[in-house]
Structures are given as structure tokens and as C-alpha cells.
Amino acid sequence: MEAMPCRNQRLGPAPGPQDEQQPPVVLAAAGGGCSRLIRFAEPDEGGESSPSPDSSSSSNNNGGVLVEVRSPAAEIGAQLKLLPMNDQIRELQTIIRDKTASRGDFVFSADRLIRLVVEEGLNQLPYTECTVTTPTGYKYEGVKFEKGNCGVSIMRSGEAMEQGLRDCCRSIRIGKILIQSDEETQRAKVYYAKFPPDIYRRKVLLMYPILSTGNTVIEAVKVLIEHGVQPSVIILLSLFSTPHGAKSIIQEFPEITILTTEVHPVAPTHFGQKYFGTD
């Protein structure tokens, strides 16, 4: 019996004549430069399909359309990093976006997605080599976390990510920033900020789940800079981002790193209300 192919495996060459019976495919870029294989059913007779204007396309042998979607990181910049896409992440994204999802399912899925983002965020931080002794007396050469890291959450929705960070780093210090839009000018205004006193020596995991316009994050980074933090040591952890939000932040601070799971024109801006039960 032949092994079942992985649905998210790295793509091979475009289909040849031997693949004439295969339906058309879309190559969707995933994090890390990989491509995701998505197969669509054959179009109805006489039906028309038009690829996205920001995608390149070609026809395969059976008349289907082969669409290659450009990676958001390639469009916005190398400082934007996406988690490698798989069906588990896609399902969590779907539940969070589903207006019929119960709050329990929403929070459960959000916490899982937050944990995945936090774990990858920690993977972006520096480690040092070390040697330990195993219970059987052998020496094992491994790595350990470098000290000097902290988290900063942008209130209120950013607080949803704090527990995920604490679950991974039990003793990590976490600061907070409260930024709201001024009722008269509609500009982002800082109302509260509290950080570890030596934050200027630390690498910062800035937590804000939804990047819509990017204005709130830009103001938060400005406050961190005022406290001596360089943008190059800031890693912004988010769940969803719009192209405009990511571009605005990177244009303002080219050295900052943004880590997210999806870049899409429509962001689930209801996240904070539903997570905290105030929708």
C-alpha cells in the first residue's frame, strides 16, 4: 500500500502530462518560504475563474489554473516572519474568525494559537551552548536560554498573551502599556506604561494579538525607545495582521521583527471583546 502524501509537503515541479487527471492547484506561500498545496475541484463547464490580481498564474494541461501566491514576507520585508502554515493552525484561525463560535471554543483556540506564537518567538531569542550530565553519567552538549529577556503587553488585548508567555518562561518579567485613541483627535495616546527598571538591557517580546492599522504598536515602540530599548531587540508577537499594519510598523522601525500567523486584509478586530467576554 502506498503511503499517504502529506498535504503540506514542499511542492515539487509543476504537473506534467502524466498528471492530466489532477485538478488545478494553488501554491500558497507559508512561513519560512515554503509553499502550501491546495487542490480545488474541477470548475463547472462554462464556468470562469479569475486569479487574484496580486498572483501570477499559468494554465496546466487540463485547462485548470495554477496560481502562485506571493509570500507576504517577500512583499513587506524580511523582518516579517510567519509561522509555517499547517492544518492545525488553519483550523485555529478559522474558529477565531467564526462569528458562531462559542466563547469557550474561541478562548481555547486563541490560547493554543498564542502558545504556538510564543514558542516561536522564544525561538528567535539567543541561546548559549552548555554541557550537562545525564542521570547515567554521560555528558550532553545542549543549549540554554540567555538571560535578559522580558515581555511587554499592550493592554487590553495584549494581556491575553501573558499567560502563554508565563507558561513557557515561568520567571519572565512582564511590563504593560495602555494606549487608547484620543476622543478628540482620534490619535493613539499613551495613558500608562510600567516596565522592568532595566528594560533597556533586555530583549523585548512585545505582545499585541491583532495588527490592524499598526498605530497602537508604533506608539508602544516609541515609548520603549524612550526607555532606552532599541527596535532591533524588539520582537512583536501577534496572531493576525493586515498588510497595511505590518507595512506601517516596518516602515517606521525597519529593524523590528514581527512574528504572526497570517497576513490578511481583514483582521478579527473583535478578538479582545470576545476573549474577555465583553462583546
84 and 189 together in one domain: yes
Predicted local distance difference test score (pLDDT) of residue 73: 66
For the chain, how many residues are written?
279
Strand-pair partners of 193: 177
44 and 129 together in one domain: no
149 and 269 together in one domain: yes
In 58-207, alpha helices (H): 72-76, 87-97, 103-123, 162-168
21 and 129 together in one domain: no
61 and 174 together in one domain: no
Overall average pLDDT of the 227-233 stretch: 96
Predicted local distance difference test score (pLDDT) of residue 119: 95
Residue 4 lies inside a defined structural domain of this protein: no
State the pTM of this model: 0.74
In the chain, alpha helices (H): 72-76, 87-97, 103-123, 162-168, 215-226, 243-252, 271-275
For the chain, give percent helix, strand, coil, nearest 5: 30, 30, 40
Under 8 Å between Cβ of 238 and 260: yes
How do residues 151-175 score in pLDDT, each as one tens digit?
Answer: 999 999 999 999 999 999 988 999 9
How do residues 252-279 score in pLDDT, each as one tens digit?
Answer: 999 999 999 999 999 999 999 999 998 7
Overall average pLDDT of the 33-58 stretch: 42
Total domains present in the chain: 2
CA–CA distance, 195 with 49 (Å, rounded to integer):
53
